[in-house]
Structure 1
Amino acid sequence: MGCVCGREDLTINNRKFYIKSRIGEGGFSYIDLIEDANNRRLFALKRISCHSKEDERVAMQEVEIMKTFHHQNLIALEESAMVSVGYHSKTLDITCDVLIAMPYYRKGSLQDKMEILRSKGEKMPEDYIWNMFIGTCHGLRALHSHNPPYAHRDVKPANVMISDDNNPVLMDLGSAAKARVETNTSSECRSLQDQASERCSMLFRAPELFNVDLGANIDERTDIWSLGCVLYGMAYLESPFEKIYQRGDSIALAVLGCNIKFPDFSGYSGHVNEIIQWLMTVNIAERPFIDEVIAKVETICINKV
C-alpha cells in the first residue's frame, strides 16, 4: 500500500486501486470505497482484520463461498487477497488483513431505503416490495440448492443491496455456512448458538438459533424466517421485533412466541401479512423451503397483473 500525491492506494493481484473514503464498519471488518486506477470504476473493499489462524479460516471461507456462487442476486467477488500486516503483541502470531473487493451499489441497501422512506412518512409500493422479495429469494435459492446446501444465516435489509436497475443483491456471506446441522452433543448446541449470537443479527434471527436444542435438525429454513422479517421490514419499515427491542424486552421470548403485531391498516393486499406469517412459522419443520416460497409469491404476482 502507498500514497501518491495525497491519494492512498493499494494493489490487489497486480491491480491498482485508490482508496476514496470509509463507507461502512462492522464488528469484524470495515468497508472502503475504492476506485480502479485503470478504468475509474468504483468498488467496495471489505477489509477483515485477522488475529489468529481461526480468524483467517473464517475470513477465507467467505472468499471461497463468494467464488463458489455466481448469481445476479448474490454479491460478486471482484478481487481478493490476504495481506500480512505484522505480529500480535501478546501471542506473536502474524496478523493479516483479508481484502475482498466487490461491486459498489450507489443506491445503498434496503435498510437505507427504509430509513429514507420512514423519515419522509412514505412507504414502499407493493409491486416494488414483491420485486425485491422475489429477487432476494432467487439469490437464496442459489445458496440453498447447492450440494450441500448453504444457509446465509444473516438475511436482513442491511444485507440486501439495490442495483442501478432496482434488483436486490444479497451480500455479506461472512455468516454463510453449510445449512444442515445435527446437534448430537451439548457442545455442538453451544457452538452453534454462540456462532448465531455472534454472526446472526438478533432482530432477524430464527427461533431455533436462540436456544439450540440437543438433537435438533437445523437446515436452510433458518433463512426463511429471516425472509419473513425482511418482508415485514419492507412493508412496515422496521423489524417485526423493533418495538420490543426498544422497550428492552426479551427478543428471544418474542421470537419463540412469534409475537408479531401488524398495523390495523397497511394499505397493502392481504397477501403481504399472509406470507409474513407463513414464513415466520416458529417450528422449522413446518416452515416452507425456498422453492415453495418462490412458487407461491410468483402466483400472487401473476394474479395481481
Structure 2
Amino acid sequence: MGHALCVCSRGTVIIDNKRYLFIQKLGEGFLLEPHLGRVSAKWEGHPTPHQEISLGLSRVGDDHGPSLTPLAHSGFSYVDLVEGLHDGHFYALKRILCHEQQDREEAQREADRHRLFNHPNILRLVAYCLRERGAKHEAWLLLPFFKRGTLWNEIERLKDKGNFLTEDQILWLLLGICRGLEAIHAKAFLSRDARRDLKPTNILLGDEGQPVLMDLACINVEGSRQALTLQDWAAQRCTISYRAPELFSVQSHCVIDERTDVWSLGCVLYAMMFGEGPYDMVFQKGDSVALAVQNQLSIPQSPRHSSALRQLLASMMTVDPHQRPHIPLLLSQLEALQPPAPGQHTTQI
C-alpha cells in the first residue's frame, strides 16, 4: 500500500520518505468542470497562480475535451501539482476520495494496475499510499507530470492555428498508442477486458511527443448481472462519443475484448485526422449517439490523408466488433506504414 504518509506544515507532504511541496491544489468544494486545463504558455520554472496547467488526469462521462481551468475536480478525485524537494521534479498527485470500502479497493486496484507495467506508452506509478483521517480516507497516487498535456491539447492547439497533425505524425502516435494497448492486453487477467475510455484527453504526451496511456480501468462480463454492471459503468465512465456500439446495450456472455478498444482507437484516429471526434457534433446537437454508431461511419475526403490511412480507419470503425482488426494486426499494418528511419524525427510533435 505504501509507506506512512504525513501531512506537514507549509504545504508539504511526505510519501515514501520523500518530501513534496504543493504548487497548486484545489480546496474542498472547489468545483470545476471534470477535466483539466490545457497548457497555454511556454513552461518556464514554477507556474504562476493564473498559469494554465494540464496534468491530464480525469474521470469523465460525456465530455468532449479539456476545459480551461488550472486544475480540476473530477467528481471523485482531485489532481494537485507537486514538486519533489529531493529531486526538483514536478509530479501529479491524484487524490481519490474514498467514501466506502469499495472505493478504497478500487483505488488499490488502480494502483496495482499501474504497477504491472514498465512501458514507455503507459503511465507509471511513482508511489501510492492511503491517507486516513478519522472516517475519511483518501488514496494518493503520485504520478509523473506531463507539461505538454494531452493529445487533445495538441489537436486543439493546431486547430486554433488552422492546422492538423500530419499523416506521419498520426501514424507515429497511433503506433505508440497501439503498443501501449498491446502491453495492457498481454496481461493474462486483463486479456478479456477492454480499456473502454480511450480518448484524446486520456492520452498524455511525453517530452518527445510520445503518447502515454493513463486510464487503465477495466471490467469483465460473464453473465447478465455483469452485463448490466458494465452497461452502467460505461454510461458513467466512458465518454459517449468514443464509446463502442456494443457498450450501449451489453448482452449476457457477449464478446467485449480488445476490439472494443479498437473502436475507441478509431475515434481517436478520426480526431487526429479531422480535429474532432466522429460523433462529437452528434452529441453537441442533442441527437442520439447510440443510434448514430449503429450506422457505418462516413469518412470525409481530404487530400491530407492517404487511401491506406482511410482504409485503416474504416476497418477500426466497423460496427460489428467481430469484423474489427485485433491489435497485433493493427500494429503490423502501422509498422508497414511508418516513414523511413532517416525522417523519423519529423514525425515527433
| Matches of 1:240 and 1:205, distance apart in 2 | 11
The Cα of 1:25 is off from its aligned counterpart by: 3.1
The 8 Å contact of residues 151 and 177 in structure 1, kept in 2 or not, is answered as yes
In structure 1, distance between residues paired with 2:339 and 2:89: 38
1:109 correspondence with 2:150 = yes
Counterpart check, 1:231 vs 2:274: no
> CA deviation digits over 1:24-55, x for unaligned, max 9?
33232121111001111111111110100111
Q: 2:257 aligns with which of 210, 213, 219?
A: 219
Structure 1 residues 172 and 138, CA gap change in structure 2 (3 angstroms): same
What's the counterpart of residue 85 of structure 1? Answer: 133
What CA deviation, in whole Å up to 9, does each residue of 1:4-24 have, x standing for no partner?
A: 2xxx11111222101111433
Q: Of Structure 1 and Structure 2, which has the larger fraction of its residues in strand?
A: 1
Q: Secondary structure at the match of 1:3?
A: coil
The equivalent residue for 1:166 is: 209
Instruction: Name the residue aligned to 2:281.
Output: 243
The structure whose RCO (Cα within 8 Å, separation 6+) is larger is 2
Q: Quote the Cα distance in structure 1 between the aligned partners of 2:316 and 2:121.
A: 20
Matched residue count = 289
Q: Which residue of 2 aligns with 1:122?
A: 163
Distance 1:279 1:262 in 2: 12
Counterpart selection for 2:200 from 127, 134, 157: 157
| Partner-residue secondary structure (3-state), 1:256 | coil
Instruction: Name the SS for the 1:151 alignment partner.
Output: coil
Shift of 1:303: 8.2
Matching of residue 2 in structure 1 with residue 44 in structure 2: no
1:291 equivalent among 301, 313, 328: 328
Contact 1:32–1:45 under 8 Å retained in 2: yes
How far off its partner does 1:3 sit? 2.9
2:218 to 176, 181, 187: 176
The aligned residue for residue 15 of structure 2 is 12
Matched residue SS, 1:288: coil
Are 2:85 and 1:32 equivalent residues in the alignment?
no
Q: Give the structure with the larger helix fraction.
A: 1
CA distance in 1, matches of 2:134, 2:319: 46
Say if 2:76 and 2:96, in contact at 8 Å, map to a contact too.
yes
Distance in 1 of aligned mates of 2:292 and 2:172 = 29
Aligned to 2:239: 201
Over the matched positions of the two proteins, sequence identity in percent amounts to 35
Please provide the CA RMSD for this pair. Answer: 1.8
Q: Which residue number in structure 1 is paired with residue 57 of structure 2?
A: none
Deviation string for 1:65-108 (max 9, x for gaps)? 00111111000000111101332xxxxxxx21111111111111
Give TM-score, length-normalised by structure 2: 0.79
Matching residue of 1:69 = 117
How far apart in 1 are the matches of 2:219 and 2:14? 29
Aligned to 1:51: 99
Q: Deviations over 1:194-242 (max 9, x none)?
A: 1111221111111111110233122122111111000001111111001
Could you list the runs of 5+ residues in structure 1 that have no partner in the other structure? 88-94
Q: Distance in 2 between matches of 1:284 and 1:75?
A: 27
Corresponding residue SS for 1:244 = helix
Tell me if the contact between 1:143 and 1:151 (Cα under 8 Å) persists in the aligned partners.
Answer: no
Q: In structure 2, what is the Cα distance between the partners aligned to 1:262 and 1:220?
A: 23
Report the Cα distance in structure 2 between the residues aligned to 1:283 and 1:210, rounded to whole angstroms: 13
Distance in structure 2 (CA, Å) of the matches to 1:263 and 1:49: 43
Alpha-carbon shift at residue 145 of structure 1 (Å): 1.2
CA distance in 2, matches of 1:266, 1:85: 59
The 3 A distance-change label for structure 1 pair 13 and 246 is: same
2:226 is aligned with 1:188: yes
Q: When the two structures are superposed, what TM-score results if normalisation uses the length of structure 1?
A: 0.90
Equivalent residue number for residue 269 of structure 1: 306
Segments of 5+ residues of structure 2 without an aligned counterpart are 1-6, 26-70, 344-349
Q: Cα deviation per residue 1:144-173 (whole Å; 9 max; x = unaligned)?
A: 111131532211101111111121111122
Partners of 1:202 and 1:26 lie apart in 2 by 17
* 1:92 match: none
Q: AA paired with 1:154?
A: D
